Amino acid sequence: MDITFKNVSYTYQPKSPFEHQALNDISFNIPSGKFVAIIGHTGSGKSTLLQHLNGLLMPTEGSVEIGAYTLAKEDKPKDMKELRSKVGVVFQYPEHQLFEETIAKDIAFGPENFNVSEEEIDARTKDVITKVGLDESFLERSPFDLSGGQMRRVAIAGVLAIKPEVLVLDEPTAGLDPRGQKEIMDMFAELHEEEQLTTVLVTHSMEDALTYADYIIILNEGSLYMEGTSREVFSNAEALRKVNLDVPEIVQFIHAFEQKFSTSIPFENQSLQELAQIIKQRMEGEEV
Amino acid sequence: MGNSLVIGQYVPGQSLIHRMDPRTKMIMITIFVVIVFFANNFYNYGLLVVFAFLSMFLSGVPLRFVLKGLTPIWFIIILTFTLHVFITKDGTELFQVFGLTVYSGGVIQGTFISIRFFLLIFVTSLLTLTTTPIEITDAIESMLHPLKKIKFPVHELALMMSISLRFIPTLMQETDKISKAQAARGVDFKTGPIKHRVKAIVPLLIPLFVSAFKRAEELAMAMEARGYRGGEGRTKLRELTFSRLDVITFLFFFIVVGAVIYLRQF
């Protein structure tokens, strides 16, 4: 599903002493099937923006279009549930939303609300629990007996079981160990390919944005600061530094290398191995 | 969440009312609550209303904001007014509606009771609007201090109060967060038959309880790690002191109180 923001602004508690404008005239377009990263500091409006994607918040000005649904102040879809069955959101620390006696029941909670048939739910439950890296033996256990990382996986499975077309991830790896982080992010990347999802990833990590995203949107103090492919965005290190964001280490390294050896290595999101290969060639070439 | 509920919400500021010692404010409000029940005619009710609005004006909190926050209470005010109008049978007959006779005494009585209600809520919310919860608990601890002699756990009580007040916003945020997460999974809290909506509370309450217990445990651990062992010998960061401002407001307030009692005879 295509996602389009048209001049969206959002104000919390308007007309009170606590009035706060979280989003300011934001417009962008995410074509169907893309993997987009939204980056910004705490308080830049990332989480507010994300809640517009499934109608948890309505823009105070402007409109949001998600596939055939339009969200605007005066134009709300009649059936929000339908939209929410198509946009799955993994919130920050999703393990806090677990509540059922067994993991199977918790995973089934979403699909049940969207009136999915029982056999279908059963099949989905078994499917998603393996997808998140656990196995079927977990299904009858209580979610509260698990470790933090496992709880996170179960909560994610609960969102995947809805079979959304758009997957929204709000810092899904916060607080996990590095290995868990990589596993979870790789799983999302795989799902994105397999199910042809449109994925929106909200993150602090430049490395994750570089590795996984096709397109990057940078927010600063509620406004759209930059947007473009990872190459476009990260080649403008100066602008990023202005809003206290760093370029990924790998890009930093290439820049430093280029300067030191006055050569140019076109950055095309190469893997570490490929890059090492290129550098090796260059060095050997120069020595000859 | 809870945007419309003003009671318990603090509006930061530097006004006269904000700067007063919280104990002064609390004592004054206690007396005010009593004195409201002494008022018996339009003169002293008028005086109290003027006093309340003057305080609100001095506090710098926008009136529109306070009145909007009082919306949940309007219903009670209107209900008591209507009941009084129809039930009291004093004074002269005014007119008849729905086969019920309305007497002048009923209208007057209804108006007084409504003003009384309004004043009580208005002034008490003025306290919480201009005083941080921490100041309020400090004031309570300080005023209950004499009870220590009879082994009343004043410090513990105050600490319990400040901790619960401290965690209200946290719990509100948590509620907001979890209800959004469950709404994203298709729970509908707002529409549908009441039975479904009651059922929808379960996925909200259980995670809330779980996190509240976790938080309590973590807090207890953190307090112990920082060497907390009760109020004995504990010093305070914020010392409460009465200033000239408090003396002046007290004097002014007692003139108002005196006037209200004096006006009773008219």
The ipTM of this complex is: 0.84
Identify from B129, B170, B185 which residue to disrupt to test chain A contact, counting A C-beta atoms within 10 A and taking the largest count: B185
B192 is a domain residue: no
> From the centroid of its chain, how far is CA A243?
21
Distances B13 to A110, B19, B165, B226 between C-alpha atoms, Å: 45, 9, 20, 32
Distances A82 to A164, A243, A269 between C-alpha atoms, Å: 11, 38, 37
**Within 10 Å of residue A227's Cβ, how many Cβ atoms?**
17
Interface A:B, Cβ pairs < 8 A: 64
pLDDT for the residue numbered B4: 41
The shortest CB-CB distance from A162 to any of B181, B185, B211 is to: B185
pLDDT for the residue numbered B6: 45
| Phi/psi of residue B165, nearest 5 degrees | -65, -40
Strands of A61-66's sheet in order across:
A20-30, A3-12, A61-66, A69-72
Residue of B nearest to A161 (CA): B185
Window from A267-276, B112-121, B176-185, B221-230 with minimum mean pLDDT: A267-276
Note whether A262 and A255 are within 8 A (CB).
no
What band does B5 get if pLDDT is binned at 50, 70 and 90?
very low
Residues on chain A touching B202 (C-beta within 8 angstroms): 99
Q: What is the DSSP letter of B132?
A: -
pLDDT for the residue numbered B219: 93
Tens digit of pLDDT for each residue in A119-130?
999 999 999 999
Q: How far apart are CA B134 and CA B163, in angstroms?
A: 9
The overall longest dimension of chain B from CA atoms, in Å, is 72
Whether the per-residue pLDDT at B20 is higher than 50: the answer is yes
Query: Which residue type occupies A208?
Result: D
Note whether A144 and A83 are within 8 A (CB).
no
Q: How far apart are CA A149 and CA A157, in angstroms?
A: 13
Q: What is the DSSP letter of A248?
A: P
Q: How far apart are CA A149 and CA A46, in angstroms?
A: 24
- Average pLDDT of chain A is 87
CB contact under 8 A, B174 and A144: no
B136 is a domain residue: no
Tens digit of pLDDT for each residue in B122-165?
888 888 888 888 888 889 888 988 888 888 888 888 888 888 87
Residues from B in contact with A at Cβ < 8 Å: 3, 11, 61-62, 65, 68, 174, 177-178, 180-188, 202-203, 206-207, 210-211
| Strands A166-170, A87-90: pairing kind | parallel
Residues on chain A touching B177 (C-beta within 8 angstroms): 91, 96
pLDDT for the residue numbered A242: 84
pLDDT for the residue numbered A286: 63
pLDDT for the residue numbered B3: 44
**What would the two tokens of residue B5 be?**
């509920």
Q: How far apart are CA A151 and CA A172, in angstroms?
A: 12
Whether the per-residue pLDDT at B7 is higher than 60: the answer is no
pLDDT for the residue numbered B2: 42
Note whether A231 and A267 are within 8 A (CB).
yes
Q: How far apart are CA A127 and CA A32, in angstroms?
A: 24
Distances A51 to A81, A185, A263 between C-alpha atoms, Å: 14, 21, 45
What band does B8 get if pLDDT is binned at 50, 70 and 90?
low
Residues on chain A touching B208 (C-beta within 8 angstroms): none
- Rounded to the nearest angstrom, the minimum Cα separation between A278 and chain B is 46
H helices, E strands: number in chain A = 11, 10
Domain count of the fold of chain B: 1
Residues on chain A touching B211 (C-beta within 8 angstroms): 96
Distances A94 to A87, A159, A172, B20 between C-alpha atoms, Å: 16, 9, 8, 44
User: Where are the alpha helices (H) located in chain B, listed in sequence order?
Assistant: 16-19, 22-36, 42-59, 63-69, 71-87, 104-130, 133-144, 154-184, 194-199, 202-225, 244-262
Please compute the mean of the pLDDT values over residues B32-52 and round it to a whole number: 91
Domain of residue B104 covers 1-131+238-266
Q: End-to-end distance of chain A based on CA atoms, in angstroms? A: 53
CB contact under 8 A, A99 and B207: yes
CB contact under 8 A, B203 and A16: no
To the nearest 10°, the Cα dihedral for B204, B208, B211, B214?
-140
pLDDT for the residue numbered B255: 93
Q: How far apart are CA B142 and CA B244, in angstroms?
A: 19
- Rounded to the nearest angstrom, the minimum Cα separation between B149 and chain A is 43
The shortest CB-CB distance from B181 to any of A13, A94, A114 is to: A94
Residue of A nearest to B182 (CA): A97
The shortest CB-CB distance from A81 to any of B188, B202, B203 is to: B188
Instruction: Provide the 3-class DSSP secondary structure of residue A15.
Output: coil
> From the centroid of its chain, how far is CA A116?
26
Whether the per-residue pLDDT at A30 is higher than 60: the answer is yes
Tens digit of pLDDT for each residue in A187-239?
999 999 998 999 999 988 888 888 889 899 999 888 899 898 887 888 787 88
Q: Please, which residues bridge with residue A202 across strands?
A: A38, A170
**Residue ranges per domain, chain A?**
248-288
The shortest CB-CB distance from A91 to any of B3, B61, B177 is to: B177
Q: Measured at the alpha carbon of residue B126, what is the angle toward residues B121 and B130, in degrees to the nearest 5? A: 155
- Average pLDDT of chain B is 85
The shortest CB-CB distance from B186 to any of A56, A97, A113 is to: A113
Q: How far apart are CA A62 and CA A150, in angstroms?
A: 40
Instruction: Specify the DSSP element, H or E, that contains A10.
Output: strand A3-12
CB contact under 8 A, B185 and A97: yes
Residue predicted with more confidence, B6 or B234: B234
Residues on chain B touching A84 (C-beta within 8 angstroms): 183-186
Please compute the mean of the pLDDT values over residues B8-36 and round it to a whole number: 88
Tens digit of pLDDT for each residue in A67-117?
888 888 877 777 788 889 899 999 999 998 898 999 999 999 999 888 889
Note whether A136 and A122 are within 8 A (CB).
no
Residues on chain A touching B188 (C-beta within 8 angstroms): 81, 113
B174 is a domain residue: no
Instruction: Specify the DSSP element, H or E, that contains B96.
Output: strand B93-97
DSSP per-residue codes, A88-152:
EEE-SSGGGG--SSSHHHHHHHHHHHTT--HHHHHHHHHHHHHHTT--GGGTTS-GGGS-HHHHH
| Phi/psi of residue A7, nearest 5 degrees | 45, 50
Q: Please, which residues bridge with residue A227 across strands?
A: A217
| Phi/psi of residue A164, nearest 5 degrees | -75, 160
Q: How far apart are CA B115 and CA B108, in angstroms?
A: 11
Note whether A48 and A60 are within 8 A (CB).
no
Residues on chain A touching B183 (C-beta within 8 angstroms): 56, 84
Whether the per-residue pLDDT at A38 is higher than 90: the answer is yes
Residue predicted with more confidence, B106 or A76: B106
Note whether A267 and A235 are within 8 A (CB).
yes
Residue of A nearest to B179 (CA): A97
Residue of B nearest to A164 (CA): B185
Residue predicted with more confidence, B96 or B50: B50
CB contact under 8 A, B180 and A91: yes
The radius of gyration of chain B from alpha carbons, rounded to an integer in Å, stands at 23
Note whether B90 and B49 are within 8 A (CB).
no
